[in-house]
Structure 1
Amino acid sequence: MSIQNEKKVLFDVTTRVAPLGLIAMRGASELGDKVNSYLSRWAAEAGFENETFLIESDCPRFSSGDGKGLIKQTIRGNDLFILCDMGNYSIKYDYFGHENWMSPDDHYQDLKRIIQAASGKAYRINVIMPSLYGGRQHRRNYRESLDCAVALQELQSMGVSNVLTFDAHDPRVQNAVPLMGFDNIIPSYQVLKSMFKNLADFKPNKEHFMIVSPDEGAINRNMYYASVLGVDMGMFYKRRDYSVVVNGRNPIVAHEYMGNDVTGKDIFIADDIISSGESMLEVAAELKKRNAGKIYCYATYAIFTNGFEKFDKAYKDGVIDGVFGTNLTYRSPELLAKPWFYEVDCAKYIAYFITTLNHDMSISEVIDPHEKIQNLLKKYDMI
């Protein structure tokens, strides 16, 4: 099916389940505007004029800190998609005369407020939560909470039909809600497309390129890149000191490498999140000791909780040659200005998901990017 015909199908008012509505929560407005621009443009190209699919909403707070959700126009009968960014740390609110930064807990409460404000009037409620709330606490050891699992159950009980997330830390958390729609999306095609766009000497073939998993937890996503590109893969495993606990975790003693020789090859290291980034930089340094060529890091959520100083130094010293991260969560202006950072735009991908779900069409082709990646490699004469 041609792209033009595909767009007509996706905006056929006779086949959609209900009129489409999009709410972008505070912190996700930038991404929401980009998604809406795709939806509006495709609708116009398919012959359905609609200025915007965005529905105005707000979560104001009283001076005491109490909040409420407010939807400012009708959503009755809409197939409602709520886009939220649980990790946006740049949003503030007034609290007893002081500015308070919103945490993931605050964002999650506002999401529930907006769902409450819908008051059961929407035809269906879908939540697009790229970074899962509580997703890093994905399993229980000893007496611990399971915030993500409980949150998903809570959303289900509030009437949410589908949750869409990107690169979940552990997608098995969906087992907590087996009767609710849950899709874990991996933006592999968007990552490779960005690398071809931004790297002049990018040659992802077996002679010049290699994938390395930073640890055993990231092995599946790295195996996928190695498989679709037809290149070798190595991995590190973290040797920890289980007699000590620092910041709630056992400290890493060393990174041990297993795999083929990396000498002279450019390396791609993929993970779901760069938090402090120390582990990623240690892996890159170990690869440099083994005479690797250029090293490119990727994380779906490049949040840099400890700042950028160590990455600036690593880039200056030639330890890393670039870091790729998506626009699925907040990126500070300082990060976007870094010469070593490259953004992976996922707005169009989200727009495809929304239109596909809005017509109750199969999303298997949207989730599986294999064909698109193969076409991309052919375009750049890589196969």
Structure 2
Amino acid sequence: MLYEEKIIETIPVGPLGLIPLKGCEELVGKVDKYLVDWRNERESEHKTSIAFSGYQRDSYIIGANTPRFGSGEAKGEIKASVRGDDLYLIVDVCNYSQTYSLCGMVNHMSPDDHYQDLKRVIAAAGGKARRINVIMPFLYESRQHKRSGRESLDCALALEELVDMGVENIITFDAHDPRVQNAIPLKGFETVQPIYQFIKYLLKNEKELEIDSDHMMVISPDEGGMSRAVFFSNVLGLDMGMFYKRRDYTRIVNGRNPIVAHEFLGSSVEGKDVLIIDDMISSGESMLDVAKELKSRKARKVFVCATFGLFTNGLQKFDEYYENGLIDRVLTTNLVYQTPELLSRPYYISVDMSKYIALIIDNLNHDASLSELLNPTGRINKLLAKYRAGIRD
């Protein structure tokens, strides 16, 4: 049985409310449509009871603004009553396309600006909501998750701050280091892996793949992403390889030790399709170096899969590598801002996560378990069985 067709067994925590922060309107619009359709079609004898008041609506989106004064300071405001609601605030801290005016100058919003706006909207709720949940696909400051010397622990501080403001659940995707949840051990924290969606969209666009250990391999571009690649390879029944970065620790360039070489650990990739799995593409330098190394080892096709496609250095290098046959496909999700230029690239596949987010919200609103949603093994096996049988959706 599909999750969206499930029988209602528990009453909702409260009337559902979705609040998209600035730049998240398109994604939340898709999530809202799924929820509206499911709840209008779902049958239950309890839907007319008072506990289900507001269960079926034309939209669950609640408008919120964060207008700014001329000085650049801002405030949060919510445009409807949220008393007793189960609120889900969705924020994309990486959406640099959003702007605001500061003393007559146009500024692009940084992750810090988006995070402050999130806190402003939480504060605007004034403690009246039944429960506040934050869906933050790219976890704010997740790259500063551990201390090396005299450094701040920004991600842990942010999580503690949100919990102190009354947030009960934080949902993120592919956290850079899931252990950061140790900062808030008594609150709900889920880091979700979009493995099923990657496989689904790859199989939809590549019709002639043979998914077995003789023809395909999963590659981790560094030692930090090993657990992600191990899970991916185990679910698909594939072999795994890993590159590790040999760095020059005698000097620092752009705030980090430069990479001298990528060393490979694993069996031969000759003639195989390879999936390079990582949590994000920032500049893309590591991914492209790894793709080049794999092609030099005679890999057949190279697919790059990353949850977050930031492309901080632009797309020129990716275009060159595609034209030279060093990469075949790049898959990233729509959980962060995607430029029109990226969406137009022939090698790019956008992985839509809106249905998955809607399922998570629906389950949480009913206080139901997320275990089945967080473990995609069964769904992946069904998908692979259909693909091998020649059934193409």
Q: Shorter-chain TM-score: which interval?
A: over 0.9
Q: Residue 204 of structure 1 contacts residue 382 of structure 1 at CA under 8 Å; is this kept in 2?
A: no
Q: Which residue of 1 aligns with 2:63?
A: 56
Match of 2:364 among 335, 347, 357: 357
Q: Deviations along 1:6-37, whole A, 9 cap, x unmatched? A: 0x42xx7x611111100000011111111111
Which residue does the alignment assign to 2:36? 40
Is 1:275 the counterpart of 2:282? The answer is yes
How does the TM-score come out when normalised to structure 1?
Answer: 0.97
Q: Report % sequence identity.
A: 54
Question: 1:218 and 2:214 equivalent?
Answer: no
In structure 2, what residue type is equivalent to 1:262? V
Residue 354 of structure 1 aligns to a residue whose secondary structure is helix
**Partners of 1:77 and 1:123 within 8 A in 2:** yes
The Cα offsets for residues 293-315 of structure 1, whole Å up to 9 and x where unpaired, read as: 10000110011000000000000
- 1:2 Cα deviation (Å)? 5.2
In 2: Cα distance, 1:285 partner to 1:148 partner: 33
Number of aligned residue pairs: give it.
379
List runs of 5+ in structure 1 lacking aligned partners.
none
Q: 2:20 aligns with which of 15, 18, 24?
A: 24
1:90–1:101 Cα contact (<8 Å) kept = yes
Q: How does 1:75-86 map to 2 (within 5 A)?
A: 75-86=82-93
Deviation of 1:380 after TM superposition, in Å, equals 1.1
> Contact 1:84 / 1:129 at 8 angstroms: preserved in 2?
yes
Answer whether contact 1:205 1:382 (CA < 8 A) is retained.
no
| Shift, 1:4, TM fit | 6.2
Q: CA–CA distance in 2 between the matches of 1:301 and 1:263?
A: 28
Q: Are 1:252 and 2:259 matched, yes or no?
A: yes
Q: Which residue of 2 aligns with 1:156?
A: 163
Q: 5 Å matches for 1:269-308?
A: 269-308=276-315
**Preserved contact between residue 4 and residue 359 of structure 2 (Cα < 8 Å):** no
Cα displacement string for residues 21-59 of structure 1 (whole angstroms, at most 9, x for unaligned residues): 000000111111111111111111115641000001110
C-alpha distance in structure 1 between counterparts of 2:3 and 2:281, whole Å: 35
Please point out which of 146, 149, 164 is paired with 1:142. 149
Q: Say yes or no: does 1:104 pair with 2:111.
A: yes
Q: TM-score, normalised by structure 2?
A: 0.94
Deviation at 1:252, TM superposition (A): 0.6
Partner SS for 1:114: helix
The separation in 1 between residues aligned to 2:227 and 2:386, in whole angstroms, is: 26
1:382 to partner: Cα distance? 7.1
Looking at structure 1, the residues matched to 253 and 2 of structure 2 have their Cα atoms a distance apart, in angstroms, of 55
Q: After TM superposition, give the deviation of residue 205 of structure 1 in Å.
A: 1.5
- 2-side partners of 1:358 and 1:347: how far apart? 16
Shift of 1:3: 5.0
Deviation per CA, 1:82-126, whole angstroms, max 9, x where unpaired?
Answer: 000010000001111111100000000000000000000000000
Tell me the amino acid that sits aligned with residue 74 of structure 2.
Answer: G
Written as runs of structure 1 = structure 2, the 5 A alignment for 1:307-346 is: 307-346=314-353
Secondary structure of the equivalent of 2:274? strand
RMSD: 1.3
Deviations 1:258-297 (A, max 9, x none): 1000000011001001011011111011111111110000
Task: Please say if residues 195 and 202 of structure 1, whose CA atoms lie closer than 8 Å, have aligned partners that are also in contact.
Answer: no
Amino acid at match of 1:58: N
CA distance in 1, matches of 2:267, 2:342: 33
Tell me the SS of whatever aligns to 1:380: helix
Query: Any idea what the Cα deviations from partners look like across 1:329-383, whole Å, max 9, x if unmatched?
Result: 0000010001111011111000011010111111111111111011111111279
Q: Return the alpha-carbon distance in structure 1 between the equivalents of residues 34 and 326 of structure 2.
A: 38
- Unpaired runs of 5+ in structure 2? 44-54
Structure 1 segments of 4+ aligned residues over 2 angstroms from their partners: 1-5
| Counterpart in the other structure of 2:185 | 178
State the one-letter code of the partner of 2:21.
M
1:104-160 superposed Cα distances (whole Å, 9 cap, x missing partner): 000000000000000000000000000011001111001111111000000000000
Tell me the CA shift for residue 225 of structure 1: 1.5
